[in-house]
Structure 1
Amino acid sequence: MSDFLQPKDPFLLKAIGVVEEHLSEEEFGVTELANQLSMSRSNLLRKIKSLTNLSASVFIRKVRLHHARRLLQSNELTSSEVSYKVGFGSTSYFTKCYREEFGTTPAKQQPDKENVDENGSNASKKRKWIYFAVPSLIILLVLVWILHPGVASQKEFKSIAVLPFKNDSNDTTNVYIINGVMDAILSNLQKIEELKVTSRTTAEKYRGLNKSIPEISKELEVEYFVEGSGQKVGDRIVLSVQLIDAEKDQQIWSSRFERKNEDIFELQSEISKTIADQIQVIITPKAKRLIEKVPTESLEAYDLFLKGLDITNKANGGAELEKAIDYFKKAIDEDPYFANPHAYIAICYYYIDIYQVDKKYGNTINSYADKAILLDPELGEGLIAKAMYHTQNGQYDLAIEFLDKVLNLNPNSGWVHNFLSEIYRNNIPNTEKYLKHAIRGIQNAISDQDSIEASFTYLHLANALAQTGFIKESVKYVKQALAYNPENYFAEYLYIYIKMAQDLNLKQTKNELIDILEKDSSRIDVMQEIAKLCYTMEDYEEAWKYYEAFISIKQALQLDIYPAEDLKIAYVLRKLGQPDEAERFLNAYKAYIDSDNSIYKDLSTSAYYAYEGDINEGIKYFKAFTKQTDYFYWLILFLEIDPILLEMSQHDDFQPTVQKIKDNFWEQHQEIREMLEEEGVI
């Protein structure tokens, strides 16, 4: 075993042992290690830094890499398998880190089994092999260089887009079948780790557009394109598919397929594997098994499922989702053991329910999700559906477990990374993981430029950077979000706050937000932000103007959002001489903090007692909040100008506590900086 894994210091030995217990868990990071060692995060960082001169995240990575070397030298696993064994979600990132640590690639670290016989005495044969191999290798390298001059600079990931397939039939009612084949091929390619696959949303934008491959390639920044067309003729599917090298605008491979309807799954699998073979990417045994899996033996059930899926992909509201659900239920009637429609029924009901105060379909979502997983434990959509159920119930730890399982099956799911970044931002605040998944969302949506989806992906990263105090760095990404979709009002809204963080000009910020609200008077999120700024500037009459409009819309739509605003609303009403109304919102706020289990509970409780005038009790909870980490930059920004918190400002412990909260934030900020520099984000 490496000396690194056998330190003399007892603390390091214990820390390494804890990491070893969670070696295969990609999500096991600094926060988890601190919890396991019963230490605060800041104390762990200082301890590891003093003993090793490494950051805690680098220390954990080194443990993973040294174990990887030991596994590789045993020659029992491939480098891809080893990367997952030691907690790397990406083989290419594992290779990069391994090379930086040991100066060689994982593949070169493995001994050649054929070079050693049972007695370990094969030296002369080895020398003979070298005499023949070296000239052959030189010839081979020369040929490779001549035939493929760009091979030395190939990217570790190859990128591909599956453009919308064309319907060759005049019968438009069968378009869903061709779309379904395209979706299946795209989904299969996404299971291959070494491929970056353009999302369906982005590719769909090019349906019917008269753009050349070089033009599309420039916009999407991909190396390969798949084009196809087909039709259903009686009981047969006729399909033409071609693979194109985008840079050269040349066809690499093409083929025409004519198969019976019952061979549709074999056809989709064959095309996917052929494409992978043509562009020379490795399909792991696990990915191959998933690609070749037959979802149902009933063609009628699959046909009904494709109809529902086509509607779901185009849906723009609950009525369309209900229509899709009808098709999914009919598919289940044809084949009760077909997992996919069960999963999509749960997903559709989740989106029907998502913003409603009274959730109607929680049990239904859970039932269909469970059934999907029972029928196919490796179906990504089933696991996502179960994660949605737990998200709706506020069981975010359980939601994360299921989303992590999806990433194990499909590490290139930008959507799942974005879902996780939302959870780590809003529900279980964890700045490191929030940023990590926001970054992965960008990396796995590399081809999503010039799309609405991409704009929101870049918005995620911009917001993650801003929330962790990287204000200047966030500007680049929020501008990209706006460049890809100027209509992304959320990005416009974030950009306003990023500018405010640099100069703290609250009046200018308020005016810019009012401009957004004038474009869309239904923007309830902007409404409460304007009210909040007016409250902070102690302009209580104008604050109430916007809060009143906010409350009116919230009640009319029965929305269960922004419960933390109730305390500010109560404070504003009290300042305006409406104590009875203020009491109603204060009681609502008290009910909210009593059920709050977030890291902000102590701070929220402190504000409650500050409002009530119980300063000593307020300070007690204020000081308790200093034990927390992973809170966001906006809190730091407003901490000393919030009117309710300022009710405690004359207490001797107020300013030292403010400073402690700030110090904790900037300490973690520095550690995150190291991670961002390693990822090349800043």
Structure 2
Amino acid sequence: MPNLNTAEKNFLSQITQLVEENISNEQFGVSELADAVGMSRSNLLRKIKKITDLSASQFIRNVRLKYATELLQEGSYTVSEVSYKVGFGSPSYFIKCFRELYGYPPGEMRMHEEPEEQEEQEVENEPELQAPTPKKKFPVLLISLFAIIAIAAVLYVLLQPKSGNSKKVKSIAVLPFLNDSNDTTNVYIINGLMEATLNNLQQIKDLRVISRTSVEQYRDNPKSSPEIAKELNATYLIEGSGQKIGDQILLNIQLIEAKTDKHLWSQQYRRDTEDIFTLQADVAKSIAEQIEAIVTPEEIQRIEKAPTNNLVAYDLFLKGYDLLGKPTEENLKAAIPYFKQAIQHDEEFARSYAAIAIAFYLLDQNKTDKEFADSINYYADQALFHNSKLPQSLTAKALFYMEHSEYELALPYLEKALEISPNSDVVLIFLVELYVNYLPNTEKYLEYALKGLEIDIVATYDSSAASYSYMHISNAFIQSGFVDEAEKYIDISLEYLPENLYSQYVKAYIDYAKNQDLNQLNKSLLATFEKDKTRLDVLQEVAKSYYYLRDFETAAVYYKAFVEAREMYNLEIYRSENGKIGVTFDKVGEQGLSDKYFEQYRTWAENDPSIYSNFSLAFYNSYKGNTDKAIDYLKAFTKQDNFHYWTILFTPIDPMMDNLRKNPEYKKVFREIEDKFNANHIRVKKSLQEKGLL
């Protein structure tokens, strides 16, 4: 890699050597490499991505595959033997990865070796005094012609417009299992089997698995398979029913091609209750096999891992989990004792520890005084201690950090949980919340919001939830500069819930992005505010629109009402707006208030952990007349990525920047910011297209 500096080359050489030293150990993954190189997992991921443009797991896999080519060239081992020697637990998965990287299967390795060595040997074996025989050109030309034809054929296929059926998306919905018994006390067991099937399938990256919240609407719903498929955008449906009779579980599973209502596979299981975990794993693996999903050895290992060896503990856990799935305060408080009893029967039961932590977090979620913070931490740590690779353990620890507003510490736990369970709607919800509200990152916000929409289809049964889901998608799009897409999704949001005021003012800003009309923005925001004058979020948006119009007298009226309400209710909201509030009060002669809010703005900006700290400090210093410092802060901001579109749209008209715009360096620096945003927009668009999200 000629563009790498010496330090980067040494780093790659070091981690490559570490992978090669553990080449046959299939458990040696990203976490193990991070420990070996003495880095945090998140720092390792970022560094490898920056240097190689590969994920860390891809890098490790490629090192294994390169080593495999050397073994294959030796010719001493079979393909299966090589796969195990380089750390692949499954020869079929090894063959798949090898083909993806090199374009041909490992069995054809010898056919693709360079022939120079053989030609050199032939020359060496010629009689010493014999003149070299000229090589015949015709066969070479013929081979070249065949190569050109072959390449042309490949290009023709690759460049043909792809039809919608070129790759069948393996989207699957596990419908609520039915209780075949008249004994309703066993319903929690059947629900547990459904939940286990769903959780196991969620861990398979090659599938798109619809969330439980989306399928729950069909528990007592007579709709046909094609109707459900259309509403959930699912290719396959899983129907199940069962009962517990004595010490045996009877379970019937059907796999249905949703669009045609064709039954592709069905199986009746009769297992002893002590085999319940094997049953759950067999169901998930059979479903994946029937729809030809790629299941990696790591995924199989996780699916086959029993959560506990104690059936009494598991039975208690299922009773609690059934209540946790309907998280009212009453149900959450009733669920926790079941989980604690389960732990008494199995002190290593990670799922129960994690479930308690999650239940406590949900109980605390909307409370100002956090009652259960210590309990969340204790049970999350216990869950991680007993199973550090369990998605629920990782999520529980992330929730502890979110409880304490330590969002940067929560992030790696959620990212790891999503890596293990790529279809987890719960993890995606929390990641979207982090990336939009606490650790702003427009690319991640958009990607996870789109992924969440794919698996959490709420529109058919909850118009309010649907409206907010589509509003999030729209907001994510506009923050990344996708104006047309943002407009499309905000219109859908308002179709589901026209009175959604969040969507109304997001639409006002999308319209501004299209026409740059501040008067129209102000008019739309006022109309929204008239519908509910208790909404402080809309109130400050109206004030802001007058601020941008430089109608400071009117802006001051609205801002004064806003800050009085904020202080009356002791709300920590919209601290980033204190700079605009300070300017407004300064312009209308309220110097005391101006100084107060400017000081709050400066303190907030200096302590802001997000990427916008330098940007905010540039605004502050600009208004205070420190233009050289403001330029320095603005230059520092140019090193950031994934900042939102409003940075580009509103900076040129913000009164706080009036002084800075007189600085001769301003235009150059701001153009650099614009160029970086535009380049990032193009990259995000390409990335989303490659992931099938756009």
Q: CA deviation at 1:431?
A: 4.5
**Which residue, 390, 394, 398 being the options, matches 1:379?**
390
Contact 1:450 1:485 (C-alpha < 8 Å) held by counterparts? no
Q: How many residues get paired?
A: 607
**How far apart, in 1, do the equivalents of 2:567 and 2:107 lie?**
64
SS of 2:276's equivalent in the other structure is: helix
Q: CA deviation at 1:679?
A: 4.1
Contact 1:192 1:283 (C-alpha < 8 Å) held by counterparts? yes
Superposed CA deviations along residues 40-93 of structure 1, whole A, max 9, x for unmatched, are xxxxxxxxxxxxxxxx95999998997676356356999xx99x999xxxx99x
Q: CA deviation at 1:398?
A: 3.5
**How far apart, in 2, do the equivalents of 1:416 and 1:25 lie?**
20
Partner in structure 1 of residue 340 of structure 2: 329
CA distance 1:675–1:408, change in 2 (3 Å): closer
SS of 1:247's equivalent in the other structure is: coil
CA distance 1:482–1:326, change in 2 (3 Å): farther
Contact 1:605 1:621 (C-alpha < 8 Å) held by counterparts? yes
CA distance 1:300–1:356, change in 2 (3 Å): same
Higher normalized contact order (CA 8 Å, seq sep 6+, divided by chain length): 1
Partner in structure 1 of residue 607 of structure 2: 595
Superposed CA deviations along residues 242-266 of structure 1, whole A, max 9, x for unmatched, are 2222233133333444555444333
Q: Give ranges in structure 2 of 5+ residues lacking alignment.
A: 17-28, 32-40, 73-77, 111-163
Superposed CA deviations along residues 421-440 of structure 1, whole A, max 9, x for unmatched, are 54444444445544444454
**How far apart, in 1, do the equivalents of 2:259 and 2:447 lie?**
31
Partner in structure 2 of residue 205 of structure 1: 217
Q: CA deviation at 1:356?
A: 5.1
Superposed CA deviations along residues 519-545 of structure 1, whole A, max 9, x for unmatched, are 555544333322322222233454345
CA distance 1:11–1:266, change in 2 (3 Å): closer
**1:635 equivalent in alignment to 2:631:** no
**How far apart, in 2, do the equivalents of 1:584 and 1:459 lie?**
35
**How far apart, in 2, do the equivalents of 1:445 and 1:639 lie?**
37
SS of 2:255's equivalent in the other structure is: strand
Q: CA deviation at 1:633?
A: 1.0
Contact 2:169 2:235 (C-alpha < 8 Å) held by counterparts? no
Partner in structure 2 of residue 405 of structure 1: 416
SS of 1:538's equivalent in the other structure is: coil
**How far apart, in 2, do the equivalents of 1:545 and 1:235 lie?**
72
SS of 1:640's equivalent in the other structure is: helix
One-letter identity of the residue aligned with 1:445 = I
Whichever of the two has the greater Rg, that structure is: 2
Contact 2:178 2:190 (C-alpha < 8 Å) held by counterparts? yes
Contact 2:45 2:56 (C-alpha < 8 Å) held by counterparts? no
Q: CA deviation at 1:611?
A: 4.3
Q: CA deviation at 1:340?
A: 1.5
Partner in structure 2 of residue 586 of structure 1: 598
CA distance 1:620–1:180, change in 2 (3 Å): same
- Which stretch shows the higher mean deviation, 448-457 or 603-612? 448-457
**How far apart, in 1, do the equivalents of 2:594 and 2:468 lie?**
37
**How far apart, in 1, do the equivalents of 2:352 and 2:505 lie?**
38
Q: CA deviation at 1:470?
A: 2.6
Contact 1:445 1:454 (C-alpha < 8 Å) held by counterparts? no
**1:310 equivalent in alignment to 2:306:** no
CA distance 1:581–1:325, change in 2 (3 Å): farther
Q: CA deviation at 1:177?
A: 3.0
Alignment of 1:492-531 (within 5 A): 492-517=504-529, 523-531=535-543
Partner in structure 2 of residue 70 of structure 1: 66
Partner in structure 2 of residue 562 of structure 1: 574
- Which stretch shows the higher mean deviation, 386-395 or 476-485? 476-485
Alignment of 1:637-656 (within 5 A): 637-656=649-668
TM-score computed with the length of structure 2 as normaliser: 0.74
**How far apart, in 1, do the equivalents of 2:67 and 2:534 lie?**
58
SS of 1:290's equivalent in the other structure is: helix
**How far apart, in 2, do the equivalents of 1:197 and 1:487 lie?**
31
**Which residue, 653, 658, 668 being the options, matches 2:670?**
658
Alignment of 1:39-78 (within 5 A): 70=66, 73=69, 74=71
Superposed CA deviations along residues 171-222 of structure 1, whole A, max 9, x for unmatched, are 5554333222211111111122322211111111222222011111122232
**How far apart, in 1, do the equivalents of 2:539 and 2:214 lie?**
31
**How far apart, in 1, do the equivalents of 2:339 and 2:533 lie?**
37
Superposed CA deviations along residues 348-387 of structure 1, whole A, max 9, x for unmatched, are 3334444655544433322211110111222111111112
**1:390 equivalent in alignment to 2:401:** yes
One-letter identity of the residue aligned with 1:543 = A
One-letter identity of the residue aligned with 1:325 = I
Contact 1:166 1:228 (C-alpha < 8 Å) held by counterparts? yes
Partner in structure 2 of residue 40 of structure 1: none
CA distance 1:294–1:681, change in 2 (3 Å): closer
SS of 1:201's equivalent in the other structure is: helix
Q: CA deviation at 1:156?
A: 5.6
Contact 1:72 1:110 (C-alpha < 8 Å) held by counterparts? no
**How far apart, in 2, do the equivalents of 1:31 and 1:629 lie?**
17
Alignment of 1:148-167 (within 5 A): 155=167, 157-167=169-179
**How far apart, in 2, do the equivalents of 1:591 and 1:325 lie?**
41
CA distance 1:284–1:61, change in 2 (3 Å): closer
**How far apart, in 2, do the equivalents of 1:558 and 1:231 lie?**
53
Partner in structure 2 of residue 621 of structure 1: 633
**1:180 equivalent in alignment to 2:176:** no
One-letter identity of the residue aligned with 2:585 = L
Identity %: 38
CA distance 1:454–1:361, change in 2 (3 Å): same
TM-score computed with the length of structure 1 as normaliser: 0.75
Partner in structure 2 of residue 292 of structure 1: 304
Partner in structure 2 of residue 249 of structure 1: 261
**1:218 equivalent in alignment to 2:230:** yes
What is the root-mean-square deviation of aligned Cα atoms in Å? 4.5
One-letter identity of the residue aligned with 2:576 = A
**How far apart, in 1, do the equivalents of 2:369 and 2:597 lie?**
20
Contact 2:490 2:506 (C-alpha < 8 Å) held by counterparts? yes
One-letter identity of the residue aligned with 2:387 = D
- Which stretch shows the higher mean deviation, 406-415 or 481-490? 481-490
CA distance 1:186–1:677, change in 2 (3 Å): closer
One-letter identity of the residue aligned with 2:375 = T
